[in-house]
Amino acid sequence: MSEKLPSTYVDHPSRNDRILDHKAILDTPTPLDELQDREPDDEESINAASEFDSDVTDMLVGNNPNHRDEDPKALRDAFLAISKNITERPDDQRKSPAINDPMGLDVATYGSLVVANVENPGDFQIKMQEKFAALHQETPASEEDKKIFSSQVADLAHILYGKRYEEYEQQREDLQLNPLESNPFDKQNREVDKEILAASKDVVARVDNTARKVANGWQTSIRAIQNAAARPAQAIHRITKFVSDRRLAGKQRKLQKKQSRVRSDPSLRGIDKLINNHRQTRADSYKVKIDKYKNETADPRNTRYQSHVNKMEGRTRAGMEKNLARDEAFQERRQSAEARKILRKELKSGKIGYFESKKIITSLPAEKLQRIGRARCLELAAETAVSNARAEMHGHQRDENKLTEQATKLSANSQEAMKWSREIESAANKKKDEDLPLVTEALEQAGKEYQVLVDEDRPLWDPELLAAKSRFDELANEKAFLNSAILGMRQSQEQQKQRAIRLRAKAIQTQGKIAEERRLRIEAQAKLDQQAARYTTRDEALERVIDRSIT
């Protein structure tokens, strides 16, 4: 992981004070340095060693009261081992520690800060690993060095975090171990059992029948859910109708009262006729108005469309409600099943018999079963996340290994090509410096001899002249062949050289990819640790829920 410590750490005044303290400690010649030349029983040496222990304890543990009881000698040894390894300083330069952190901190100080600020031993180790990786980015550390460093960091984490580290390691081991793998014979038997059961037609039929009955039960449940989802709408409709009917009845009663009052008034005799006439007039005029309005504005298509939209909206809403109710019911059913499953296992591991277990499980209220089921589902999700994170980390690890192998091959091939280039160059030089002068000299000599015979006016068929000419031609051909061979060798040498350069460039490029994969792997490791911690939390939560529910 390439991320730095949060900026709040950098700006924290007390932390800065500690940084200064740590630097001061590291810059001061240590009593241990002085002790190296002294007798072990020297009193001054013993005092100085004690002071040094105290300084180292202070530096690594700081003011964290949780870490004050640690063994100073073990701390000192672990610190010195790590400090020497991680800062890559020769022993004689220990008095001036390398400042190689981007924040201006050497690794030991960085480590102490990490310890003081990081609660989780896993995170502490990751941060130290990142530091180590950053220091070895240009020249990658060998696998052995990495192992040594990991072991040292683990020792340091163990010393500093004590019991917490042991718990952390135990969790990691628990997560990585498959309980079935503890006994190879048992595992083998179980694999055989699986095969036997899978191959048996009777078993398949039995499971199939039972599952079919359960699935039919589900169909019934779904119908019930659908009916239940439809019921609220009917109930709402009934309530609305009831309210509106009641209002209408009330209004009619009021109107009848008014009418009877008016009718019983002697001063208003004949008013009924007047009222009726008036009402008829108003109704007629109203009808005329309505008809006019309808003709003008009412659009039958719009009405139909609106009605359709209303219907669809109603249907969607009803559908959503139905789906929601169904999903809830499904989840409840699944959670109950998960709860029963885990309870069966827990009770069985507690040596509780079948009937008693069944009694306990069936006596649990639905609400408690749901709670256990929810906790179990969360735990399962965390388990899946751990498994995915582990797969991701292993994927990066594989890629990193593959790339490392590639880089090694490329580098070796590059060196081989360079070696060939040098050998060809050496052979070409040898031909040029040793063989070519000899041939040239012989050719000159043959030329001279031939010239002498030509000057003597020998006839063309003279055997000596012919022999001299033949020798001259032969040597001239040999010289031409040598020159051509030297040229060919130079070209071949250049080709090998270019190939070596190309391979080297590829190797460097691959190193970059390796660094990226390493970064991703460290990130994935951190993620895995986080997920593992989350899994542990959820596992504990599940245990608590089960304990509370059963007791």
- Applying CB under 8 A, the residues found at the interface with other proteins are 183, 185-186, 188-190, 192-204, 206-208, 210-212, 214-215, 218-219, 222, 226, 323, 326-327, 330-331, 333-338, 340-341, 344-345, 348, 354, 357-358
Q: Which is nearer to other proteins, 251 or 334 (CB)?
A: 334
For the bound state, the minimum distance from the C-beta of residue 233 to other proteins, rounded and expressed in Å, comes to: 19
Q: Which is nearer to other proteins, 326 or 422 (CB)?
A: 326
Q: Which is nearer to other proteins, 210 or 276 (CB)?
A: 210
Listing DSSP states for 9-63 in one string gives HHH-HHHHHHHHHHHHHHHSPPHHHHHTTS-TT-HHHHHHHHHHHHHHHHHHHTT
Q: Which is nearer to other proteins, 340 or 518 (CB)?
A: 340
Helix (H) or strand (E) holding 514: helix 463-550
For the bound state, the minimum distance from the C-beta of residue 152 to other proteins, rounded and expressed in Å, comes to: 40
Which residues have C-beta within 8 Å of that of residue 474, sequence separation ≥ 6?
A: none
User: Rounded CA gap, 386 and 534, in Å?
Assistant: 9
For the bound state, the minimum distance from the C-beta of residue 376 to other proteins, rounded and expressed in Å, comes to: 10
Of 271, 298, 36, 70, which is closest to residue 162 (Cα–Cα)?
70
Q: Which is nearer to other proteins, 224 or 283 (CB)?
A: 224
For the bound state, the minimum distance from the C-beta of residue 202 to other proteins, rounded and expressed in Å, comes to: 4
For the bound state, the minimum distance from the C-beta of residue 549 to other proteins, rounded and expressed in Å, comes to: 17
* CA-angle at 327, arms to 321 and 333, nearest 5°: 140
Are 33 and 94 spatial neighbours (Cβ–Cβ below 8 Å)? Answer: yes
Burial class (CB in 10 A: 0-12, 13-18, 19+), 216: exposed
The residue with tokens 């639905």 is 366
Q: Which is nearer to other proteins, 217 or 250 (CB)?
A: 217
Tokens of 112: 């102490």
For the bound state, the minimum distance from the C-beta of residue 314 to other proteins, rounded and expressed in Å, comes to: 18
- CA distances 190 to 2, 46, 195, Å, are 44, 61, 9
Q: Which is nearer to other proteins, 38 or 344 (CB)?
A: 344
Q: Which is nearer to other proteins, 246 or 348 (CB)?
A: 348
For the bound state, the minimum distance from the C-beta of residue 165 to other proteins, rounded and expressed in Å, comes to: 32
Of 506, 520, 508, 502, which is closest to residue 400 (Cα–Cα)?
520
Largest CA distance in the chain: 179
For the bound state, the minimum distance from the C-beta of residue 218 to other proteins, rounded and expressed in Å, comes to: 6
Of 126, 147, 168, which is closest to residue 3 (Cα–Cα)?
126
Helix %, strand %, coil % of the chain (to 5): 85, 0, 15
